[in-house]
Amino acid sequence: MFIYIAGSGAMGCRFGYQLFKAGNKVVLLDKWEDHIQAIKKNGLTITGDKEDNVKIPIMHPEEATEPADLIILFTKAMQLPAMLKDIEQVIGENTKVLCLLNGLGHEDVIKQYIPEKNILMGVTVWTAGLQGPGVAILKATGSVNLQSIDPNGEKEAEKIVDVLNQAGLNVTYDKDVVPSIWRKACVNGTMNSTCALEDCTIGEFFASEDALKVVHTIIHEFVEVGQATGVTLDEKAITDYVMHTAEVAAEHYPSMHQDLVQNHRLTEIDYINGAVARKGDELGIPTPYCHMITELVHAKEHVLGIR
């Protein structure tokens, strides 16, 4: 199968690498010049659970010309519309587009560029890091849940599931993937924004009673808003999932901490807590904690001179 990875950061490199090794034709797309040059010159280097190096093509999105069978979207949330515009020329009538971005509301953006019958929404718990340009750190295992947003698209989506599973990506077709997308957004909404603001690891933040009040209130707001939009969400189950994730990932700084504190880059807050705050406003559901943390993260972006 011919596959573009649209957004080839850490996660894009993981998926691109595994699909390439499974025999697919894979092209990485990205805009980070040092990363592109490193991979063009030295190939994509894999480290972590195993060491490898593969000669895999990488180019700017607008340089892609050949229509694809599958495009996997792995940009940062705010880069999604630009990416979709940049790759218009390779979106054919039957090109499937799988969205694995963090956060909420991407479906509405993608629908502006892709017919519904070709859109697959998904969520993954795979992780990955970048050691530097061209070097991906791949550790541990993960999984993917995905669903065609067109109810008639299940059969064709199953073909995509097979291709991804042949690459060891541990994918399940999920007849109701939206709750899982919300659940992951809720994990991000409780630990990314907070640890970025407090400049601490997940474990350090979750260690105090006061922090847990923040966590529980944010979960409550996500659940209230999600349910009002018709998504089935169990507050107790999501709380257990968040607490379990916090325990497993205690040593880590979440990605928003890396963006804001370590690299002084804009965050995805508008697609996580910010998305719930906006949706809450539309539906008349109070979401003061999501509002305030979104405002505080944006204020910090402003203080750092990146907004």
Contacting residues toward a second copy, per CB under 8 A:
194, 197-200, 204-205, 207-208, 210-211, 213-214, 217, 286, 288-289, 291-296, 298-300, 302-303, 307
**Which of residues 131 and 208 has its CB atom nearest to a second copy in the complex?**
208
**Which of residues 56 and 293 has its CB atom nearest to a second copy in the complex?**
293
Amino acid found at 264: H
The whole-angstrom distance between residue 199's C-alpha and the CA centroid of its chain comes to 22
**Which of residues 129 and 189 has its CB atom nearest to a second copy in the complex?**
189
Q: What is the dihedral of CA 220, 226, 228, 232, to 10 degrees?
A: -100
Cβ contacts of 14 within 8 Å, gap of 6 or more: 126, 128, 136, 138
What is the sign of the dihedral through the CA atoms of 137, 125, 58 and 83? negative
Strand residue runs (E) in the chain: 2-6, 25-29, 44-48, 52-54, 58-59, 70-73, 96-99, 119-124, 129-132, 135-138, 144-148, 171-173
Catalytic-labelled residue, pool 96, 184, 279, 300: 184
Q: How far is the CB of 194 from a second copy (least distance, A)?
A: 8
**Which of residues 80 and 197 has its CB atom nearest to a second copy in the complex?**
197
Q: How far is the CB of 251 from a second copy (least distance, A)?
A: 14
Contact call for residues 235 and 183 (beta carbons, < 8 A): no
List the structure tokens of 109: 């953006």
Q: Order the strands of the 2-6 sheet from edge to edge.
A: 58-59, 25-29, 2-6, 70-73, 96-99, 119-124, 144-148, 171-173
Q: Residue 184 catalytic?
A: yes
Q: How far is the CB of 195 from a second copy (least distance, A)?
A: 9
Q: Look at phi and psi of residue 78 and say left if phi exceeds 0, alpha if psi is from -120 to 50, else beta.
A: alpha
141 CB neighbour count, 10 Å cutoff: 12
Q: How far is the CB of 100 from a second copy (least distance, A)?
A: 29
Q: How far is the CB of 106 from a second copy (least distance, A)?
A: 23
**Which of residues 265 and 298 has its CB atom nearest to a second copy in the complex?**
298
Q: Which residues are catalytic?
A: 184
